[in-house]
Amino acid sequence: MSRRTMLRGTIGGAGVVMGLPLLEAMFDAHGEALADGSAPPRRFVSWLTANGVLLDRFEPDQVGANWSLSEQLEPLAGVKDYVNVCTGFHNLGQVGSYIGGHVEGVTALTGHPYVLAGAGYDAGGPSIDQLVADAIGGDTPVRSMQVAVSKANTFAGSGSLGTAISFRGEPGALTALPPLSSPKQVWASLFGIFPGPDAPQDDRQVRALMVDAVRAQSEALRGRLGTQDRQRLDAHLQGVDELEHKLQALPPPCIMPEEPNEENEEPVGSELITPVTHLMAELLTYALRCDITRVASVTFLGLAGETPYTEIGVSATKHLLSHDAQYNLAAREQLHQSVVYEMTRLADFVQALRDAEDFGGANLLDSTIVYATSDCSVGWLHSISRQPVILIGTGGGHLKYPGHHHQATPNDADDPNGVATPDLPTAGNISDIALACLHAYDPSATSFGGGEALSTDPLDDLLA
C-alpha cells in the first residue's frame, strides 16, 4: 500500500481528504522501510516564545550527559531523555553596535542578521523550518504549516519580523509565511475541506459531517488490512472524531479590524492559551503522524509579545515583566512563573508527540526534532548573549539520546542575569546548532545562514 493513501469523500460536492497513520501494509517485509524502499519520514518543528528567561533558574548546573533539569526546565521532566539543552552560545545577529531588541533573536532561526526595512525589520534569510521543507516538504500534501498560539504582536506592521518567524526563499527575495492562530483555520488548511455550492453553509455542520464523508471508503479499506492495521485505523478515526468535538466546543473566532487577515478566539489579555495550545498540539501531531506535513513552526508568543498569562494569575504582560524584573523582585518571581508556564505549554506539545504511536514501537519524538528558543536571553538587556536553545526529539536517531546539556562557556558572571554586569559570557556560534539539526534532513548542506552569523561548522557534539 502506498504511504500516500488517503481516505477521500465528498460533502455536498466538496472534496474531503483525510490522511492515514502508518500501517503495516505500507512497510516492507522487514518493517524497516516503506514499501517503496524509502526510509520512514523525519519531521521538524520550530517553536518560539519571547522576552527571555532568568538564566540562573533556566540553565542546568551540570554539563554533559549527567545533567538535571533546572527550575524553569522542570516541566519537561516527562520527556527529559529526549531533551538536548544548548546554553552559553553566541548569537551573532547583532547589526553594528545597535541593539534593536528581540529581532536579533530570530537569527537563531535563520542564521542571518536582520535587515532594516524602513522603520521596521525584515529577516535576513530563510528560516530553518523552510530549509528543512525545501529538503522534505515535497513529499507531503502540505509543504509546511505555520501556527501561532498568542496573537499579541508588538512588532506588527514593522516589517516581516512583525508577523512571521518562517521565511522561504533567498536573501533579498524572501516570502514571509505568517502563522494561523485559529485552530479552526488550521483544521481547514490541513484537512482539505473546500465547501461547494451545495455544502452546508454553517462550518460546524461541515466539521460534523467530515468523518462520516470518509466512512464508506474506510470500510472498503478495512478489507485490505490485517487485524492490527484495522485496529489502528479504527483508533485513528475515533481520535479524529474526538478532536472534531473539541474544535466544535471552542468559542467562534472573530476578525480583529486592525489585522483583517488574522482570526482570533479571544482578545489579547483574555486568550485561551492553554486550550488553544492543546488543540494546536493535537492538530499538528495528527498532521505529522499521518504525513500530511512533516514541517511546522509554532509562534507561542511573538517578538516582545505583550501577553499576560492570566490563567496562572499573572496580570502584567511578559514583556513588561521582563523589564520590571531587573530591579523588582516581585516582578522577577512573576517572570519566573511565566517562563515555567511557557515551558509547561511546550511540554504539552512535545508530550503529545511522545504519546503518538509511530511504527515499530517508536513515537513521534523518535523521528522529530523540535527546535525551541526565545527571542533573547535576558529581557531587560535585550541580550542575545547566551540565548538558549532546547532541542527535543532525535530526528530519526540523529541527535543524542538520552540528551545532554551542551554549554559553550560557563556563566561565571558575578550576576548570572546581568543586572549589574550586562556583559554575559558567551562563546561559539548559535548557528552551529541549527546546521547540525539541518543535516538530519539535508546531509548535503554545507552551511547555514550568512554574514557574521554564517555557520559552516555543525555542532557535532549534538549528534548521536
Model confidence pLDDT, tens digit, residues 56-109: 999 999 999 999 999 999 999 999 999 999 999 999 998 665 566 689 999 999
Q: Is the pTM of this model over 0.85?
A: no
- Please tell me the distance from the alpha carbon of residue 347 to that of residue 79, in angstroms, as a whole number: 8
- In the chain, domain spans: 1-40+183-252, 42-181+263-462
42-181+263-462: which CATH topology? Alkaline Phosphatase, subunit A (3.40.720)
pLDDT value at 30 more than 80 = no
Percent of the chain residues topping a pLDDT of 70: 75
In sequence order, the β-bridge partners of residue 177 are none
What pLDDT digit, counting tens, does each position of 13-25 carry?
Answer: 445 455 555 555 5
pLDDT interval class at 462 (50, 70, 90): very high
In sequence order, the β-bridge partners of residue 84 are 391
Most confident of 3-7, 96-100, 216-220, 342-346: 342-346
Q: Which of 152, 46, 49 is nearest to 379 (CA)?
A: 49
- Please tell me the distance from the alpha carbon of residue 407 to that of residue 388, in angstroms, as a whole number: 10
- Please tell me the distance from the alpha carbon of residue 35 to that of residue 39, in angstroms, as a whole number: 9
- Mean per-residue pLDDT of the chain: 83
What mean pLDDT do residues 415-440 have?
91
What's the confidence (pLDDT) of residue 394? Answer: 98
Instruction: Report the amino acid identity of residue 136.
Output: I
- Please tell me the distance from the alpha carbon of residue 382 to that of residue 375, in angstroms, as a whole number: 9
The single-letter DSSP state of residue 128 is H
Q: Is the Cβ–Cβ distance between 312 and 337 less than 8 Å?
A: yes
Pick 414 or 83 by higher pLDDT. Answer: 83
What mean pLDDT do residues 318-340 have?
97
